[in-house]
Structure formats: structure tokens, C-alpha cells
């Protein structure tokens, strides 16, 4: 399956496949949603949180959410024969259809892809260098939080990230920090865990939700709020999270060295991503 670019297995509406029909609305308009799921020893991690975000995305887009059991059955099929650590990507598109108007009786298409995933223990242990992107994310409260297929802004922002940087931090047009190009961001300030509020743009990551819950279990105060440039610059610690990497500390922001601190280590240990 050379066309899948390293995907070792794929399933489209329940059938093994390596293509999608040309009329697919995901292709034509980005009319759909996706999830990137970490798989360890054949088990999908945090599936319930991925499924909940998909369900919310379907509601926002007015798409039918496939039956939970159907998705779980297909997920199990895709995970069969997965290597020790893998990534499963699920795309839900609004099926086939011409024009912006949603076709009556259209059927959501389920596209599963299985990819190998390489862990990066050094990034987890030592932290990564990140920079601020120049691109400003647009504001669209109607789509905030969901993981839809319109991702050109992330591609443009990612294009600003070159080694030694591993990620780019994105601000919105009000100069509020939103997220990294493919991760959420946490700040630690006076032992409080702070993450940008995602009511106007950004993706509400499943690892973001997990980290907030675990922090509360550990008795840490947690705040979703507006984060401006000054708050970012003065944070005690910075962390990046997503469902594939877990938690990465930030050891450098632009040219400035940052401390990899105790809150990061506690959260990594409690979330099962200890370096």
C-alpha cells in the first residue's frame, strides 16, 4: 500500500481499501472530522474521549454520528496486528456529494488508517524547543474545540517550524495563545496549571482533558483562561500535550531557555507517560 504513505492497514466503511471515492466531501470541502489515537499493544488509549469529541463534532457539523458499537468493532479490527506502539487515524466525512448543500440522506464515511508510531523518549525526558508562529489563527466560535478537516492554518503555521524547533505556538487574532500546531499548551504559574480557553478557536485535545482531570485528582488548581504574551513569557513551566506524544516539557522558547519542572514530572508520572 505505497499510496498510504506508511499506513500499514486501512478500512473504509468496513472494507479493506486504499482509496476513497472521488466524490468524497472530505476531499472536496474538508467536510468532516478526524481523530489521532494512540495504540499500545493493540489497545486504543483514551478512546472514550476521542469518541466524545467526535460526537460533539458531528453535532456541530450536523452529521450523523455512527453507532458507538460499529466504531468500536472497526477500531478493534484496525488494531489487530498493530505494532507495539501505533497510531490509528479515524476520519469521518460526510460521504459523497456535490456542492455545499448537505445531501439529503447522505451517509457518513468511516475511514480508518493504521500507522506505525515512533516514540521520542528524549523529547519526553529532556523537553523540546518551540517557537512562536507568526500566523494568527482566525476566530470561529462555531467550530472551536472540534477536530474538523479544515486544517490549512495549521499547515501554514507548521511551515514556520524548522529544526531545532519541534513545535510552534499559535496565537489568535486577539493575540491570545491558543495551542501548538498539533498539541495543546499548558503553563504552570505558582503551581497552578493554566491552559488557554478554547471558545473561539483551537482543538480541545483529549490529552488536554486527561491532563486537567489528573491534575485535579492530584489536588492542583486548574484554570482554562485567556493567556497573553506576558503570561506565556513569565510561566514557571510550559508543557505540550497530545494523545500521541503524551506530555512533552518545553526546554526552550525561541532563544530563551525554560525550566523543565516538578509539575511536568508529576503529571507525566500520573498520566503514565513518565520518561
Residue 43 sits in the site that holds its own copies (CB under 8 A): no
H or E stretch including 155? helix 152-158
Q: Are 25 and 93 in contact (CB under 8 A)?
A: yes
Residue 3 sits in the site that holds its own copies (CB under 8 A): yes
Q: Which stretch binds its own copies (CB under 8 A): 26-34, 46-54, 119-127, 224-232?
A: 26-34
Question: DSSP state, 112?
Answer: E
Residue 44 or 149: the one with the smaller Cβ distance to its own copies is 149
Counting beta carbons within 10 angstroms of the beta carbon of residue 119, is it exposed (0 to 12), middle (13 to 18) or buried (19 or more)? middle
Q: Which stretch binds its own copies (CB under 8 A): 29-37, 187-195, 222-230, 232-240?
A: 29-37
Site string for its own copies, 162-181 (x = CB under 8 A): -----------x-------x
Cis peptide bond upstream of 72, omega within 30: no
Q: Measured between alpha carbons, how far is 261 from 240 in angstroms, rounded to an integer?
A: 13
Residue 156 or 274: the one with the smaller Cβ distance to its own copies is 156
Residue 99 or 121: the one with the smaller Cβ distance to its own copies is 99
Comparing CA positions, the residue from 118, 234, 247, 122 lying closest to residue 180 is 247
The binding site for its own copies (CB under 8 A) comprises 3-7, 10, 12, 17-24, 26-31, 34, 61-62, 91, 93, 96-102, 111, 113, 115, 135, 138-140, 142-143, 148-159, 161, 173, 181-182
Amino acid at each position: 500500500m505505497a499510496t498510504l504513505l506508511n499506513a500499514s492497514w486501512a478500512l473504509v466503511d468496513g472494507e479493506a481499501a486504499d482509496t476513497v471515492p472521488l466524490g468524497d466531501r472530505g476531499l472536496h470541502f474538508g467536510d468532516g472530522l478526524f481523530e489521532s489515537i494512540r495504540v499500545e499493544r493493540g489497545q486504543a488509549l483514551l478512546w472514550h474521549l476521542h469518541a466524545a469529541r467526535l460526537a460533539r463534532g458531528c453535532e456541530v457539523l450536523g452529521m450523523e454520528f455512527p453507532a458507538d458499537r460499529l466504531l468500536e468493532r472497526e477500531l478493534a479490527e484496525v488494531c489487530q496486528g498493530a505494532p507495539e506502539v501505533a497510531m490509528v487515524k479515524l476520519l469521518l466525512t460526510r460521504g459523497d456529494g456535490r456542492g455545499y448543500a448537505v445531501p439529503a440522506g447522505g451517509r457518513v464515511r468511516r475511514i480508518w488508517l493504521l500507522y506505525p508510531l515512533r516514540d521520542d523518549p528524549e523529547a519526553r525526558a529532556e523537553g523540546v524547543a518551540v517557537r512562536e508562529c507568526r500566523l494568527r489563527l482566525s476566530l470561529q466560535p462555531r467550530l472551536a474545540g472540534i477536530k474538523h478537516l479544515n486544517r490549512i492554518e495549521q499547515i501554514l503555521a507548521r511551515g514556520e517550524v524548522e529544526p531545532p524547533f519541534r513545535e510552534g505556538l499559535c496565537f489568535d487574532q486577539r493575540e491570545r495563545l491558543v495551542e501548538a500546531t498539533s498539541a495543546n499548551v499548558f503553563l504552570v504559574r505558582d503551581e497552578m496549571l493554566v491552559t488557554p480557553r478554547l471558545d473561539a478557536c483551537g482543538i480541545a485535545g483529549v490529552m488536554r482533558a486527561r491532563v486537567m482531570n489528573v491534575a485535579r485528582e492530584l489536588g492542583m488548581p486548574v484554570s482554562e483562561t485567556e493567556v497573553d504574551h506576558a503570561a506565556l513569557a513569565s510561566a514557571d513551566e510550559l508543557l505540550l500535550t497530545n494523545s500521541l506524544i503524551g506530555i512533552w516539557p518545553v526546554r526552550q522558547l525561541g532563544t530563551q531557555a525554560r525550566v523543565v519542572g516538578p509539575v511536568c514530572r508529576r503529571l507525566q508520572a500520573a498520566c503514565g507517560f513518565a520518561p
